[in-house]
Amino acid sequence: MNGPVPLDEYPIHQIPRSLAYVGPSDRNFYDRWYFNAHDRTGEVFLVTGMGVYPNLGVTDAFATIRRGTTQCTVRMSDALGDDRLHPRVGPYRIEVIEPLQRIRLLCEAEEHGLGFDLTWEGSFPAVEEQPHLMRQGRRPILDACRFAQVGSWSGWVKAGSTEYDVTPDTWIGTRDRSWGIRPVGEPEPAGRPDQGGEGFWWLYVPLRFEDFAVVVIVQEQPDGFRTLNDATRVWPDGTVEQLGWPRVEIGYRSGTRHPENAVLHLSEKGGSPATIEIDTLGLVALNVGTGYGGDPEWGHGRWMGESWCEGSAYDLDEPAIAGRIPFGVVDHVARAWWRDSSGETREGWGMFEHASIGRHDPTGFADWSSVAI
């Protein structure tokens, strides 16, 4: 990886003294972990993460699991302490066993409906993505760096009265780590009204195949102009291969913006074409209880009081909840097939994270109410 690795990814005895854990003075500075886990069926999907907000003095975490049409969430928040080498908030903690290779996650919140003891093992080296910059007027509202990595899981998950035996031959997942600035904490004063807001289109697809991993990340403005374009393949020895300018075709369910399938058109080194065909299975709605954009329940970095912890359950078919989902980012379990010019086909699994909100000319969505025919 290029650039500094976050401190808790170093063995304790190897932390460089020059790497003080400080961020800029911007109130919105953050450092966040994200993980997901699934058993490839789409029947159960776990998404979890933890963040620290040094300039707000807050740390928080969440874990959410979807089974059938129910999404159950537990969330925690507390004052940020001085110990950065042992990330913890309430019943949730992260243990770095081997930097950039093995991580243990524990959530002892069964009384709130969800608990787990999981160990993540990296399948391929982490890949650093392109820096992500978004502006509101002249002000950067998101200026972040991130690395992503695919891997497998072992351990157990207990949701309600059901316990899942998690084994690495079946359970896989993606993790990422990002840091920089993004809107966090309580809302800031509005100032001049935003003159934009026509739409938001986002795609993030990390996939694990048998002998390599692929990460595609694309963001477009309402007219289709790309503000983020990244497609890479990661080999076991850490070699990173660029896969050109991805062309994206998404098949939306009629009458909705729910992506049922997709085709990613890529190009290997030398220009040979390759495609990834994707079917989406189960999903987690990130604006339903997990604190991501548009979630009315809570938001990351907000001061919720000392040792705050609560659990909630949501019926994704309930009209008020179902109506909220299309206006947020949704993570889907993804089954994928890689096909290249040699005629080989490889099956893979991972995540298809997507948001299509408001106008997006390339898709034919003219406004906030537009849906697929």
Higher pLDDT, 123 or 269: 123
Residue 171 CA to residue 357 CA, distance in Å, equals 31
Residue 190 domain flag: no
169 has a pLDDT exceeding 70: yes
Q: What number is the average pLDDT over the span 152-160? A: 97
pLDDT score for 77: 97
Residue 21 domain flag: no
Torsional sign, CA 16, 22, 23, 24: negative
- Of 64-68, 119-123, 183-187, 192-196, which range is least confident? 192-196
Binning pLDDT at 50, 70 and 90, where does residue 358 land?
Answer: very high
* Structural domain containing residue 170: 27-183+198-363
Contact 109, 76 (CB under 8 A): yes
pLDDT score for 327: 93
pLDDT score for 5: 45
Residue 5 domain flag: no
pLDDT digits (tens, 9 = 90+) for 218-275: 999 999 999 999 999 999 999 999 999 999 999 999 999 999 999 999 999 889 999 9
pLDDT score for 1: 42
Q: Say which CATH number the domain at 59 has.
A: 2.40.370.10
Binning pLDDT at 50, 70 and 90, where does residue 3 land?
Answer: very low
pLDDT digits (tens, 9 = 90+) for 15-48: 333 333 446 788 999 999 999 999 999 999 999 9
Binning pLDDT at 50, 70 and 90, where does residue 141 land?
Answer: confident
Binning pLDDT at 50, 70 and 90, where does residue 6 land?
Answer: low
The whole-angstrom distance between residue 327's C-alpha and the CA centroid of its chain comes to: 16
Query: How many residues in total does the chain contain?
Result: 373
What is the distance between the terminal CA atoms of the chain, rounded to a whole angstrom? 43
Q: What number is the average pLDDT over the span 81-110? A: 93
pLDDT score for 121: 97
pTM for the complete prediction? Answer: 0.92
Burial of 316 (0-12, 13-18, 19+ CB in 10 A): middle
Cβ-based neighbour number of residue 162 at 10 Å: 10
pLDDT digits (tens, 9 = 90+) for 281-338: 999 999 999 999 889 999 999 999 999 999 999 999 999 999 999 999 999 999 999 9
The whole-angstrom distance between residue 250's C-alpha and the CA centroid of its chain comes to: 19
Q: How are beta strands 139-159 and 132-136 bridged, if at all?
A: antiparallel
pLDDT digits (tens, 9 = 90+) for 170-207: 999 999 999 999 999 988 777 765 555 789 999 999 99
Mapping DSSP onto H, E and C, the string for the chain reads CCCCCCHHHCCHHHCCCCCCCCCCCCCCEEEEEEEEEECCCCCEEEEEEEEEECCCCEEEEEEEEEECCEEEEEEEEEECCCCCCCCEECCEEEEEEECCCEEEEEEEEHHHCEEEEEEEEECCCCEECCCEEEEECCEEEEEEEEEEEEEEEEEEEEECCEEEEECCCCCEEEEEEEEEECCCCCCCCCCCCCCCCCEEEEEEEEEECCCCEEEEEEEECCCCCEEEEEEEEECCCCCEEECCCCEEEEEECCCCCCEEEEEEEEECCCCCEEEEEEEEEEEEECCCCCCCCCCCCCCCCCCCCCCEEEEEEEECCCHHHHHHHHHCCEEEEEEEEEEECCCCEEEEEEEEEEEEEECEHHHCECCCCCCCC
Residue 62 domain flag: yes
Contact 203, 357 (CB under 8 A): no
Residue 16 domain flag: no
- Of 4-8, 82-86, 137-141, which range is least confident? 4-8
Contact 284, 42 (CB under 8 A): no
Share above pLDDT 70 across residues of the chain, in percent, rounded to a whole number = 92
Give 11's contacts (C-beta < 8 A, 6+ positions apart).
99
pLDDT score for 18: 36
Contact 205, 217 (CB under 8 A): yes
Nearest to 154 by CA among 140, 170, 138, 143: 170
Residue 20 domain flag: no
Tokens at 365, concatenated = 């969505």
Residue 372 domain flag: no
pLDDT score for 97: 93
Nearest to 108 by CA among 63, 144, 141, 148: 63
If one counts the domains in the chain, the total is 1
Residue 17 domain flag: no
pLDDT score for 366: 96
